[in-house]
Structure 1
Amino acid sequence: MPQLGRLEQWDDARGFGFVRPLASQAGADAPRAFVHVKAIERAGRRPAEGDLVRYEIERDAQGRLNAVGVAFVNASAMRELARSRVDAKSAARDRREAGRRAALLRRLATAAAVAVFVGGWLLGTWPGVVPLFYAALATVSFLAYRHDKVAAEHGRWRTPESTLHAIDLAGGWPGGLLAQQVLRHKSSKRSFQLVFWTTVLLNCAAFAWLLREGVVAQLAQSSPWA
């Protein structure tokens, strides 16, 4: 694997020296490697102590470290490398911030779901079978997510995403939200999240329509929890 280092103890008369990895990559006590002038590709000039180079490591028959594929690193390349590292750190920071916002959204949505379904029952807006129905499907959804996560960790047969979405669409989405938060499963896959939140909206819209049309009351008439 290519790495960056500096030449040290360079003996120009004999054409060899040593290269030590940059401390920012491998630590100040990183082992150095022997480098011969013949290992420097398209040098264009004589090497000098302190030169910054990119190289790879091989071991010789005695197990000693040798630098191969050595190439000088110019200032523009160093600036590009530094810029790429800054961009990578910025991207990682943005991902962490987006993850925190998504986690907060899931927690709020889960709490809101519990408050709405239980509160609606307590206020008499809908029968008790409604929160029980959602609780049952939420349990099924949570277990399905857990099964899929365990299967992924052990290389076993996965639960199709379409199955998870179908359960959530039917009303199990509060359990899906909880599973994503607690198990950290399917919480960062954008394509899955897009479909997941679509199922949430569709289920809520369908429930509102059924409630307005009186279908929920009709279905719950024969329920002992109505």
Structure 2
Amino acid sequence: MKTPDFRKPWLLIAGFWFLCAAGLLAASLLTDAFTPGLAGDLYCAAVALFSPLALAAFGWDKWKAERDGRRIPEKRLLLLAFLGGWPGAVAGQQWFRHKTIKPVFRSILVAIAVLHLVAVGFVVYRSFGSA
């Protein structure tokens, strides 16, 4: 029996989240149409900044792993994800097929992504609930 492939949905969610964050940040900074406030701007900026860094870090670490070079510590990869780069980290993990076998690392990365999604969902819910 073939196991389902969860790479594509995670990759789509991560890409969509990154594009939304970058677009909302641009809309907030360039127009008055969208104003999430300072916290929203900072979060969008963190996602827009740390996602490409996390994606590059996963690619670099995979490249170094294949060549027995000096690796990026797992704690640093997870820190990039936690600081807002989780879309890039998830995309990098799936795209480069890197760190997909380690269950603890994978679980922590999924927990970070879910934490971000829940936190943003809660903030959006609260902002619409008080309006």
Give me the CA root mean square deviation: 2.9
Q: 1:200 aligns with which of 74, 96, 113?
A: 113
AA at the equivalent of 1:138:
S
How many residues are aligned here? 118
Distance 1:129 1:170, change over 3 A: closer
Q: What residue ranges of structure 1 are gaps of 5+ in the alignment? A: 1-89, 215-226
How far 1:112 sits from its partner (Å)? 3.0
1:113: which partner in 2? Answer: 17
Distance 1:150 1:118, change over 3 A: closer
Rg larger in 1 or in 2? 1
- TM-score computed with the length of structure 2 as normaliser: 0.70
1:169–1:202 Cα contact (<8 Å) kept: no
Q: How does 1:72-151 map to 2 (within 5 A)?
A: 90=1, 93-94=2-3, 98=4, 100=5, 102-118=6-22, 120-121=24-25, 122=27, 124-126=34-36, 130-151=43-64
Question: 1:212, 1:120 → 2: CA distance?
Answer: 17
Question: 2:23, 2:55 → 1: CA distance?
Answer: 22
Identity rate of aligned residues, in percent? 23
Residue 165 of structure 1 pairs with residue 78 of structure 2: yes
How far 1:207 sits from its partner (Å)? 4.5
How far 1:134 sits from its partner (Å)? 1.1
How far 1:179 sits from its partner (Å)? 1.0
2:46–2:85 Cα contact (<8 Å) kept: no
Greater percentage in strand: 1
How far 1:167 sits from its partner (Å)? 0.9
Q: How does 1:175-190 map to 2 (within 5 A)?
A: 175-190=88-103
Q: What residue ranges of structure 2 are gaps of 5+ in the alignment? A: 28-32
1:170–1:203 Cα contact (<8 Å) kept: no
- TM-score computed with the length of structure 1 as normaliser: 0.44
